[in-house]
Structure 1
Amino acid sequence: MKFNTYILSAISAGFLLSSCHKEATLNISKPEIVPSKPITSDTLSGSIQGTLLAGKTYYFATDITINDGDTLTMQSGVKLVALGDGSSQLKSPQITVNGSFLSLGTKEKPNYITVAEELKKPENAFKGIWGGIQCTPLKDKKGGDLILKWTHIEYAGGPAAVATEVYKAGDPRYLIYFANMEKNFILEDCWISGSKDDAIRTDGGKLSIMRNTFELCGEKGGEALNIKSGSVGDVAYNVVMGAATNAFKVSNSGDKTVQANVNIYNNTMINCGFRQTKEGRGGGINYESFAKGKAFNNLFINCRVSMRVVGGAGTGADLPNLSYGNNLYYGNAPTLLNQFNATDGVSKFTAQDIQGQVKANNPLFYAYDVDQFDYTTLGGTSKAPAVTWKQQALALLTQGNANLRLKNSSPAIGKGVTGFSPLNPTTIIGELAADVKLPGKDLGAYQTDGSGNQH
């Protein structure tokens, strides 16, 4: 497979890069990319390209931009610290990506795109201290790829100063925004935490979202992952704790010519949907607006709404091309059972789903008490009412030290369906390629054979 190579960054002993932007086959032989244009100053500003060097810490107090045709690469163990306070766009700098941005952390040496240590505390989770990673191609330009591996991205969402095609003036920015239907967005083994609104929104792209952990996403609303038209790919083996609205929303809204098509499988969603005040919103997985795909092998644990498939002309999902099943539903209150399938949606249980009465089918995690909060105390008749994040214990919103692997007696073991293939649309090969895993035989993000989510 061939694609436009990364200029001045993605270089290894076995990879020849042409300065004329010629196409070449990417075949990097080692995970650690040999530095091209090493960046030695610890302060970044303006237009940047090159390599942030392994183990070093860098800072930016104003917007930094990766220009079209350029690449910024973070080697492993890098910390990139935003110096902001979230009070305005001028004081919440963003990373503008018109080219390509690669963060290549490892399990042993993860990367951080974060804020100063003294600001990293729960009460700042929704403050929007910096502006996030904003990836859009310039008009009549090709743009580039966003590849993030073993990277913590956190505490973003500061307000937009002026209106754009994406934001109204004053709107909180997304922690990650990606809008390039022809390019790749690969997010693997990362931690996404502390977003003011949506943590991630895509308006087009070839997606592979694998084995990540999402925490503290959305103050009063917003998804962990909000996928719009032009987006095609796989969302698998992720953990989502306490998203404000949905863990994953797929909607074909937008003006892209490619229909939103996303497979969502083997994910674990816990305590999602409780901060969204609008009726009919909030929970686990939501397909609407002519979106299509598959949703199998997921765990819905104490979500305000679990599965929501919108019906009806104009606003409904592409029902003939949407399938789901082999999911486990758990709720410790009647209001949660009532919304295993959203009452304003058209989804129904399949024979292969696992669901039952209050507190039935506990997934039996190794170290996480699914009944540590009694949702009957929220009241409500058919649906649990909304709450603020201050009314939710931190253990409902973050994984912390919890072990979400399944005990041997879990009803989720061996109940997965494996007879379908990932869409696997990304076009990058070599060491930077997406590590797409097939559907697992056990439900949820963790497999009993040790595969799946590695957090």
Structure 2
Amino acid sequence: MKKLLFVAALSTVVFTGCKEETSTTDPTPQPVVQEAVSGEVSGVWKKGSTYKITGHLQVPAGKTLTIEEGVTVLMNDSTVKPEIVVRGNLYSLGTSQNPVKFTVPDAWKTVKNEFGALWGGIVAAPTCAEFVMQNTVLEYGGAVTTETSPSVKGGLYKAAAGERIPAIYYPDVNGQFVVTSSTVRNFYEDGFYLEGGKVIVANNKFYTTGIANGDAINIKSGVVADVAFNLIYSPNTNGLKLSNSGDRSPQAYVVGYNNTIVNAGWRRPTTKGGSIWLEKTVRADLYNNLLVNDRFGIKRDKGAPEDNRSKVSNNMYYAFTQEAVNQFQPSTEILAGSNDIISKTAGDNDPKFVNYPLNTAMTNATFNQAWDFSVQAGSPTLGKGTTSFTRNYANGLTINGVTYKSPEPTTTIGAFGTK
């Protein structure tokens, strides 16, 4: 009898002890503020945390850095102006309500610093097999490289001092690169500079980029891409610069569709700037793009034109000045697509944006967050697009167990329909 009582008492003690241990364990990782981050980084940066960057960062080859929703990556050293070199994989996984932010202290966000240059950018290496950003903000970068810059010492990007770093550089011809629902703003020069990879760039916003040069999306040989449903506002040069320069395999092939490009090229001091630029045997299929108040129409380099398999169709042009209208009329340099809507007179084919003054100065680069580039009922963009084309990644790219598909085209020209 005594033995049974002892066993029962011991069982009670063991059960009670387990219960107490469970109740004091919180399985939810808490946000942290990590000071003075520099050097090699990998693993997981936890949801809602802040990482204060005081030196250059590197994701080593064979390693992965995953950045969870709501993380702030604060570039906190104006002397170093950090670069992020990615030799392994990078996944920046924000949400619409809780984006990841690569930014600078609020006190630095002045009119003087409108075009950034307060940190470098994200420079991937050919060993970066997978690069994903969703719901991520990149802002106030584009610093000039020096002899001591990691990208220069590592032979990456242009590997020379005196070059402005893009928001993102990606070079792996065998890699996969996906950026969706993200924002690039307040950068000194290019947004994306891509020299390789299977690429999806969709549902993003680019604005206040390029003070003296710079394209929003700059694509070279080695890239096969779908570029769709992006809003590009007032890039210094082109919204899309599409080129097969570099002669890497595969040949550059871009399906660009349902983009809205506004005020492109007017801040470029030469005549190269415009809406979309084609050169050096790039293969480009361009559909349903809305080109508003841009300096030129879809323009080719006459001395080194696009691949003759390229297709242009169902794009729409608008301008509020006759000068701009004249400069998107078809010529030996300006491409005319089938079923394009090309006005002849200033003010024709008003796209009827919900909230954007169409007479805004074409050189303006300051973005108003109240603007709304959706269209109203009765817009000439509605029902004038085509869905009868093949995109590269309708079946998707699978990265880290997730399949990312390029969005389905719509019959509305531009990135946004009615609300």
TM-score by length of 1: 0.80
The equivalent of 1:230 in structure 2 is 222
**Match for residue 83 of structure 1?**
76
Report the equivalent of 2:201: 209
SS at match of 2:397: coil
SS where residue 112 of structure 2 aligns? helix
State the partner residue of 1:20.
none
Give the aligned partner of residue 402 of structure 1: 371
Letter of the 2:128 partner, please give it: G
Where does structure 2 lack aligned partners over 5 or more consecutive residues?
A: 1-26
The whole-number CA distance in structure 1 between the counterparts of 2:202 and 2:368 is: 17
1:160 and 2:136 aligned: no
Instruction: Tell me the equivalent position of 1:62.
Output: 55
Q: Does 1:246 align with 2:246?
A: no
1:116-153 CA-to-partner distances (Å, cap 9, x unmatched) read 1111234313241101000012xxxx432110000100
Shift of 1:167: 3.9
Match of 2:172 among 180, 198, 202: 180
Aligned residue pairs, count: 384
How far apart are 1:175 and its partner, in Å?
1.3
Helix, strand or coil at the partner of 1:438: coil
Deviation of 1:399 after TM superposition, in Å, equals 4.7
Tell me the residue number matched to 1:356: 344
Deviation at 1:107, TM superposition (A): 0.7
Tell me the equivalent position of 1:23.
none
Shift of 1:400: 1.5
Cα gap change, 1:122 to 1:207, in 2 (>3 Å)? farther
Task: Indicate the SS of the match to 2:323.
Answer: helix
Superposition deviation, residue 369 in structure 1? 1.2
Q: What's the offset of the Cα at 1:354? A: 4.1
**Superposed displacement of residue 109, structure 1:** 0.7
Q: Summarize deviations over 1:284-334 as a string: whole Å, max 9, x none.
A: 11111100021110111101112112344xx11102x10112111011112
Identity %: 29
**Whole-Å separation in 2 of the counterparts to 1:231 and 1:294:** 14
Q: In 2, are the aligned partners of 1:66 and 1:98 still within 8 Å (CA)?
A: yes
Query: Partners in 2 of 1:35 and 1:80 — Cα distance?
Result: 21
Aligned residue in 2 for 1:170: 162
Residues 351/297 of structure 1: CA separation in 2 closer, same or farther (3 Å cut): closer
Shift of 1:221: 1.0
> Whole-Å Cα distance in 2 between the matches of residues 352 and 276 of structure 1?
26
Q: Which has the higher contact order (CA 8 A, sep 6+)?
A: 1
Q: Which one of 440, 443, 446 corresponds to residue 410 of structure 2? A: 440
Offset from partner CA, 1:257-295 (integer Å, 9 cap, x none): 21000011001111110111122x111111111000211
Measure the CA separation in 2 of the matches of 1:52 and 1:337: 49
Q: Distance in 2 between matches of 1:146 and 1:43?
A: 25
Equivalence for 2:290: 299
Return the index of the structure with the highest Cα Rg: 2
The answer to which of 291-300 and 430-439 deviates more is 430-439
**Cα displacement string for residues 191-212 of structure 1 (whole angstroms, at most 9, x for unaligned residues):** 1011211111001111100000
| SS of 2:172 mapped into structure 1 | coil
Contact 1:222 1:243 (8 Å CA) reproduced = yes
Cα deviation, residue 53, structure 1: 0.6
Residues 151, 262 of structure 1: CA spacing in aligned structure 2 closer, same or farther, 3 A cutoff? same
Distance 1:199 1:292 in 2: 21
2:301 pairs, out of 298, 302, 310, with 310
| Residues 241 and 397 in structure 1, CA contact (< 8 A), matched pair in contact too | no
For 1:327-377, what per-residue CA distance to the aligned partner results, in whole angstroms no more than 9, with x for missing partners?
Answer: 11011112211221575615124344342311100100111111233x6xx
Residue 108 of structure 1: CA displacement? 1.1
Q: Report the equivalent of 1:367.
A: 355
Contact map agreement 1:126 1:219 (CA 8 A) in 2: yes
Aligned to 2:132: 147
CA contact (8 A) 1:102 1:147 kept: yes
2:391 aligned residue = 422
- TM-score, with length taken from structure 2: 0.86
Cα shift at 1:174: 1.1
